[in-house]
Amino acid sequence: MKALILVDIQNDFVPGGALAVPEGDLIVPLVNRLQPHFDLVVATQDWHPANHGSFAANHAGRNPGEMIDLAGLPQILWPTHCVQDTEGAKFVAGLDRRQWDRVFTKGTDTGIDSYSGFFDNGHRQATGLGDYLKAKQVTEVYVVGLATDYCVKFTALDAVQLGFKTHLIEDACLGVNLQPGDVVAAVDEMKKAGVEILRAEKILEPATA
């Protein structure tokens, strides 16, 4: 069984959103074309309480981009984003949801952030995604979504750790590049960890790719 994991394709992560990935919405048509090629499709959803510790606004005198210590972990402060039950936390309207088997929310614990779709950043709590995929006999996962250098990367790295044969569909992801080169470095880190990097055409047109 092969599963496609759609990471955080939400309004706040595309242009017009609070923490927009440049051109983040451009991956949506490609993600929609990829979905029918998989046995199982799941999505992750960044889903924070308004008082979440990763928001700069919740730390007096702090600005987005600054580093703090949160529950013993280094934490980048972000603009307020993906607050539960807000427009920004909703999935992008053009995203085809008909084939989705399940949505896994993350970042719900005020005191710790969660980039990966599998665990929080301290690996203290699981979201249930790993157990769910294993119960469905999934052995291979393909990761797409936003953002390559944060949630996509940590989802793919955790997938490898959990024993899934893990692939990154590079052109169906986009990154933030807070620092120039972050996306390139993230792809390199995934490759070194054992993630296969491929382009969507290999799945859409396997005979010619």
Residue nearest Zn ion, CB atom distance: 46
Residue type at position 178: L
Looking at beta carbons only, is 17 or 107 nearer to Zn ion?
107
Looking at beta carbons only, is 46 or 120 nearer to Zn ion?
46
With CB under 5 A as the contact rule, which of the stretches 9-17, 90-98, 102-110, 195-203 interacts with Zn ion? 102-110
Quick check: 12 binds Zn ion (CB under 5 A)?
no
Residue type at position 1: M
C-alpha angle 106-97-174 in degrees, rounded to nearest 5: 60
With CB under 5 A as the contact rule, which of the stretches 58-66, 88-96, 99-107, 136-144 interacts with Zn ion? 99-107
What b/e string do you get for 181-199 counting C-beta neighbours within 10 Å, with b at 16 or more?
Answer: ebbeebbeebeeeebeebe
Nearest distance from residue 56's CB to Zn ion, in Å? 12
Q: Given 25, 82, 151, 158, which residue is catalytic?
A: 151
Looking at beta carbons only, is 116 or 166 nearer to Zn ion?
116
Residue 21 is given by DSSP the state: P
C-alpha angle 158-124-147 in degrees, rounded to nearest 5: 40
Looking at beta carbons only, is 107 or 117 nearer to Zn ion?
107
Closest-CA residue to 190 (of 132, 151, 134, 137): 151
Q: Given 46, 106, 113, 173, which residue is catalytic?
A: 106
Among 46, 120, 149, 158, binds Zn ion (CB under 5 A): 46
SS3 192: helix
With CB under 5 A as the contact rule, which of the stretches 20-28, 58-66, 105-113, 142-150 interacts with Zn ion? 105-113
C-alpha angle 22-28-31 in degrees, rounded to nearest 5: 125
- The answer to whether 173 is a known catalytic residue is no
Residues that bind Zn ion (CB under 5 A): 46, 107
Q: What are the residue numbers of the active site?
A: 8, 106, 151
